[in-house]
A and B are shown apart, each in its own frame.
Chain A
Amino acid sequence: AQKVTQAQTEISVVEKEDVTLDCVYETRDTTYYLFWYKQPPSGELVFLIRRNSFDEQNEISGRYSWNFQKSTSSFNFTITASQVVDSAVYFCALRGVGSYQLTFGKGTKLSVIP
């Protein structure tokens, strides 16, 4: 069975602060894929990033960065210099190599206050 845990239910930060969203996962698959999605108030899920389990290189893309630690089964997401438009619910998701559906965490609601 696969499981994704996002321990932070809600986070509030003041604009321009950095914020890290935590994600811990469980899977028996040796090959798997991790994803982050953003869901703004309008409801659509927007794909942000994918990570393969065999690629532990971390990445920075503009104000976003991701920290994948296979040893601790974590896939954390950091927003640098947060902006009001970053306010949304962020979901971490997992898909094992033998499975085609995504297993989602419960989501973390991020509120960026001006």
Chain B
Amino acid sequence: EAGVTQSPTHLIKTRGQQVTLRCSPISGHTSVYWYQQALGLGLQFLLWYDEGEERNRGNFPPRFSGRQFPNYSSELNVNALELEDSALYLCASTKGGLNNQPQHFGDGTRLSIL
């Protein structure tokens, strides 16, 4: 069974640009979660999608957005990039509605802002 896959693995952008990160969940999983792991800030919850709908978002500005497609894959969009957006962005998936299940993570996308 393929795990959670994320693309690209690395990305370099400059301030003010926009970026799109992609995530494919494990087959059969309908929930996708996005987390940001910035240096010194730990892992912070960004967004949760289930069955194509945004269910919850963390304490991040609106320039962080995303969507989930009918095949349950997801995109994370970040507009007007700032230096502090440099981080590892991790995607995780679970079978929706079962919150005692562990979230399985992808390898992440490392975003560097110059």
Nearest B residue (CB) for A43 = B108
Give the residues in chain A near B45, CB-CB below 8 Å: 101-103
Give the residues in chain A near B103, CB-CB below 8 Å: 35, 47, 102
| Residue total for B at the interface (Cβ-Cβ under 8 A) | 27
Q: Distance (Å) between the CB of A27 and the closest chain B CB?
A: 13
Bound CA span A43–B108, Å = 7
| Residue of A33, A35, A42, A100 contacting most chain B CB atoms (<10 Å) | A100
Between A and B, how many residue pairs show CB distances below 8 Å? 59
Contact of B102 among A47, A91, A97, A101 (CB under 8 A): A47
Q: Contacts A45-B90, A106-B42, A107-B42: A101 and B48 contacting too (C-beta < 8 A)?
A: yes
Give the residues in chain B near A105, CB-CB below 8 Å: 42
Question: Contact size class for A?
Answer: 20 to 34
Bound CA span A104–B105, Å = 14
> Does B104 reach chain A (CB closer than 8 Å)?
yes
Q: Distance (Å) between the CB of A9 and the closest chain B CB?
A: 11
Q: Distance (Å) between the CB of B60 and the closest chain A CB?
A: 12
> Does B110 reach chain A (CB closer than 8 Å)?
yes
> Does B58 reach chain A (CB closer than 8 Å)?
yes
Bound CA span A64–B109, Å = 29
B43 and A50 within 8 A (CB): no
> Does B55 reach chain A (CB closer than 8 Å)?
yes
Contact of B31 among A35, A43, A100 (CB under 8 A): A100
Q: What residues of chain A have their CB less than 8 Å away from a CB belonging to chain B?
A: 33, 35, 37, 42-47, 50, 52, 91, 95, 97, 99-107
